[in-house]
Structure 1
Amino acid sequence: MTTTRFAPSPTGHIHVGNLRTALFNWLIARKAGGTFILRIDDTDPERSKEEYVDAIKEDLEWLGLTWDRVERQSLRLDRYAEAAEKLRGMGRFYEAFETPTELDLKRKKQLNMGRPPVYDRAALTLSEAEKEKLRAERGDGVWRFKLKQERIEWADGILGPISIDAASVSDPVLIRADGQVLYTLASVVDDTEMGVTHVVRGSDHVTNTATQIQMIEALDGTVPAFAHHSLLTGPAGEALSKRLGVLSIRQLRERGVAPMALLSLMARLGSSQPVELKDSPEDLVEGFDLSTFGSAPTKFDEQDLFPLTARVLQATPLAKVAVKLKEVGVPDEEAERFWLVVRDNISTMDEVAAWWRMFTDGAEPVIEDEDREFIAEALALLPEGPHDGETWGKWTAEVKEKTGRKGKGLFMPLRKALTGQAHGPDMSQVLPLLRVIKARG
């Protein structure tokens, strides 16, 4: 059975980069009728916060990306300890004692000599007595996985054939000196024991994948099908790292972005397929194809989300927004007419309140000096309310006859005087909803 996973660290809110990983893995699982695991990477007790675990679940639920089960890595520490012991017994796990300063000096020396800055495995030459002495002086060391220095190859689902020389990669640290298990070990153990068949993640993990393939094989696991999607940049190609706070799913939600606007964009961004707005996450499954995605950095502009959100709103029935309309003060008896008028003219639901204020409190009129006499004459001809769908047509016909104005010179000044805007809904629909017309005075 196809099994995928999304493994966020609960150290902050998930952002658009995380979402891309979650969505791709979710789509693969759903397309195959398989299992999607939400796996919380909470092995760091200091940085992991329960509030972020809850926030991750809430954000995924808002998007409609449901999971089949939840796993917590903090509850599986015994499994990682057993795997570490197995690797020690195989001679593939060794303790190293270099300080960060010493490692930095080694890297600089190697670079100066034109060599790749790879850990030199000096710890493998230490005698037991030397190790005991270092432990007494420095405390416990870190534990590194001993790579077989051979080529590591796999057929990547997005990048194509990958071949990495393990001799050009440092033996990865899997357990810190304080005993904390790092993601590389936890992920391999979990993927192996949970039967994960497909892993999609960012292209910054390619080297990690190479080392993990050797670790999976050492632990007698089955290597999943790996795919590495491109990294997102800003619209001008700039790094997103400094802006991820404002590009968190939570922030985008607060800015009024619709879930399906976000998912529809992310399901196609960076692929050869055009973005298609879908009605539900399930509707994205059929057209999803990893092979259509490229390896080049992918430009992401959050402004693209708002036209998509506007299209979502245009097709949204009253029942789905009734609560929001009531919150801004729209009476039930006027909700349907109001929604039909404004839904084609908003980019997010946050704009609804301003429209309702305009209808109930009256807009601040915009009147050009050359139109003042015309507006005064026209408003004098406007009948007292209540107005209906025919009032605008009858009124403007009478104004045209009395003033001689027509076309844009007739309609635009009247729209701006009544709504304060040059564009908006059909005025025959707007006029019946206007409770206050400030320009009358």
Structure 2
Amino acid sequence: MTDSTAESDSAIQPRKRVTAEHVGTSNADHAGELRTALVETLRADRKITSPAVEAAFRAVARERFMPDEVALDVAYGVDRSVVTKRDEHGVAISSVSAAYIQARMLEQAELQPGMTVLEIGSGGLNAAYIAEIVGEKGHVVSVDIDPEVTERATRLLDANGYAGRVTVTAVDAAHGVPDEGPFDAIIVTVGAWDIEPSWLNDLADDGVLVLPLIMNGVTRTIGFRRDGDHLVSTSTEVAGFVPMQGAGQHAERVFLLPDPNGNNVKLRFDSDVPADLGNLDGVLATERTDVWSGATIKHQTSFADLHLWFAWYLPGFCLLAVDDGTDLAAERGSWFPFGVVRGSAFAYLAVRPALGGAGVEFGARAYGRDGELAAAALVEQIQAWDRDGRHAEPSFAYWPTGSDHSSISADATVMTKTHGAITISWPAHG
């Protein structure tokens, strides 16, 4: 497990981190100025909304929990995550979260002085924030499956005055945390495919669970509270995280589509893989089909809920990744990595200029003999989102195995997980 990342790894330039410890008071003053500026930005963006979270962000020096090579402007970037460990393939497996998502998750957790809080995925910085909020009478337990991560977190927390206030343990949290709990709040800082039964067992009856929940490849950080035998969402935030390791790990399936030059387009499926992907053999050698939806959006406007809509309402949904050298790589900037497979074709989300140069129109590009079919399936859901989803906020519920599923609302859509089911209810969508 890890501390968490933002939507994607940020490229960190190898510049020496400057702090008072290294080169003097002037740099400590600069760090303080950046800290103040960060807080003001997070307040203006409504990521910080409470005095308690604001005070924590003003009290904790982010740079002291970063690797030495990280520059101050990176440490205090609003949406910059910092990788602290990679595996043998170069994949990030531990990181310091972007400031905006740390602030937002702390707000989602509704922390108060005196609380006992479990952090799943350790790194040090987030635990320091939590310790500041719960105060001397509170307690923080931070766990991670990787002993190297917990050793680093322990060292940094102790060096910055949090010894005795934060207990750091190397454990696979999917199996629970021995001799700890119940917890007033549990904050999960890794991408979780499901909610582990042990987390619900360790959560106080009136506690809050905040976690990045992966739903068919698309993640939302959701705050949950109990409602009888199930959980209901109290808040959501767009974010991406490195996936959980250990017993809670869920492997996606990746299929390679080679082009005539030997480069690949990769189709990544979280679940519900179409039955015969062999029908896509040679698909990139076929002529491309374009279909446009008529749905438009202005520049600088978020459409993240369109991705979520696809994940829930588009059978055959997948994520795309492309090699340099493919036709898709040459067209980056005109499409997004969300697609669908239909028959002997796949389609992906595309845009073209619209609104007199002030925005774009959504559409689909497809390859394969069934290109019209695949593109039409994607465009149909773009139009459905444009009609029913783009101006509404969905709500979620989680129904553990053994809960009364007959109580699920008729307008909710159900997604089955290992230990239960997640539902989404989108106003006006039945």
Query: Would the TM-score normalized by the shorter structure come out above 0.5?
Result: no
Q: Point out the structure with max Rg over C-alpha.
A: 1
* Greater share of residues in helix: 1
TM-score, normalised by the number of residues in structure 2: 0.22
TM-score, normalised by the number of residues in structure 1: 0.22
* Greater share of residues in strand: 2
